[in-house]
Amino acid sequence: MAHVQHYKAGDVKRLCNEYGREEELNNRDCRIATERTKDNYQLPSNRRMHYQLEYELGKRVSEVPHSNRKDLNVMSTWIVTLPEQLKTASDADKRRFFEVTYSFTQNRYGSENVMTGYVHMDETTPHIHVPTVPVDRNGRISSKNVFTRKELQGYQRELDATMEQEFGMKGLILNGRTKGSYTVRELKERTKQEQAIKRRETALDVRERDLQEREQSVIARQNALEAQEEAFQLEKDNYRQKYEKALKLANTAYEGYKEAYKNLPIQEKRNLIAEGRQPHGKLGVPLVNSAHNALRAETDVEKRKRLLANSPEFVQDFYKNEDERTFIS
């Protein structure tokens, strides 16, 4: 009899412990006869510790395109039990049965996806576990696409034919159960379970599509924000360059004006200040106009004094020799 089971990434370490019969294995149900565990073996015979499977499976999964869903099945394990006809056979024939099973599975799914086989002789019925990375024809990990109903039937049928050629006996794989000889009650329960699985898979597909759409929407928004930020930064840089250039020109002009003003006689300074009262005077310097207008507009004497103290030097020079009463009035 042969059947397949599917597992997620979070199950791999636990299964490796179980397959390799590590000390961490929970045997509370006593299904394992520990005194016979020494008779277990791994295929091919040159395999080392079971941790090798955990590493190689993780490496293979990283090489193959796959969904990032947490519920993705990254490992599918064929479990093939020793048939009744071979239970009394020699140890060599039993081993040959498991070796043929392992080779058949490896040839079917590729040696890069089938790395080892675990033979357990310490349970009620001897059997082999053949872990497989389910890579479909499109080169992606998908147990749903690989293990279709047609594939499950084909695997058992062709493995049965291979065993018939090897041992000269029919029905070593396709016994009553695998052929579908179930009671009506069992068939109803089986159909119910299959329908539940199908509904769950459909729901997962819908969730995956929804997540992909949301992810694409987030990426589009992020790209738009990055483009806006880049445009804003460019505009900011251009403005800063223009501002710095204008400020440099203004400072240069102002320093030149101050230097020229220092060397003028006092009367000429007064004349320039007087002309600077008009918006289109000889100097046309807004700084002079604003300081002069502010002083004349202020009626509070103390405030006018403070304004004068904070005015440019050449404005202070203009009023320095004026009669204070005239200035204040």
Clarify whether residues 52 and 176 are in a common domain: yes
Clarify whether residues 271 and 140 are in a common domain: no
Question: In the listed set 162, 181, 200, which residue is the last one of a domain according to the structure?
Answer: 181
Is 316 or 207 the better-scoring residue by pLDDT?
207
Clarify whether residues 44 and 137 are in a common domain: yes
Average of per-residue pLDDT across 302-321: 65
Q: What is the pLDDT of residues 74-123, one digit of tens each?
A: 999 999 999 988 988 999 999 999 999 999 999 999 999 998 999 999 88
User: Which domain does 119 fall in, by range?
Assistant: 2-181
Clarify whether residues 175 and 282 are in a common domain: no
Flag whether 308 is in a domain.
yes
Clarify whether residues 32 and 138 are in a common domain: yes
Radius of gyration over alpha carbons of the chain, in Å?
45
pTM of the predicted model over 0.75? no
Flag whether 44 is in a domain.
yes
Clarify whether residues 24 and 125 are in a common domain: yes
Q: What is the pLDDT of residues 150-169, one digit of tens each?
A: 999 999 999 999 999 999 98
Arithmetic mean of pLDDT over the chain: 78
Would the pLDDT of 298 be above 50?
yes
Number of domains in the chain: 2
Flag whether 193 is in a domain.
no
Question: In the listed set 126, 157, 181, which residue is the last one of a domain according to the structure?
Answer: 181
All residues at 6 or more sequence positions from 227 whose CB lies less than 8 Å from its CB, including other chains: none
For residue 74, give the H/E element and its range. strand 73-81
Q: What is the pLDDT of residues 226-277, one digit of tens each?
A: 889 888 888 888 877 876 776 676 666 666 666 666 666 777 666 766 655 4
C-alpha span between 168 and 179 (Å, rounded): 19
* Short-list 276, 321, 269, 271, CA closest to 296: 276
C-alpha span between 37 and 18 (Å, rounded): 12
Share of the chain above pLDDT 90, in %: 27
pLDDT at 123: 86
Q: Which amino acid is at 37?
A: T
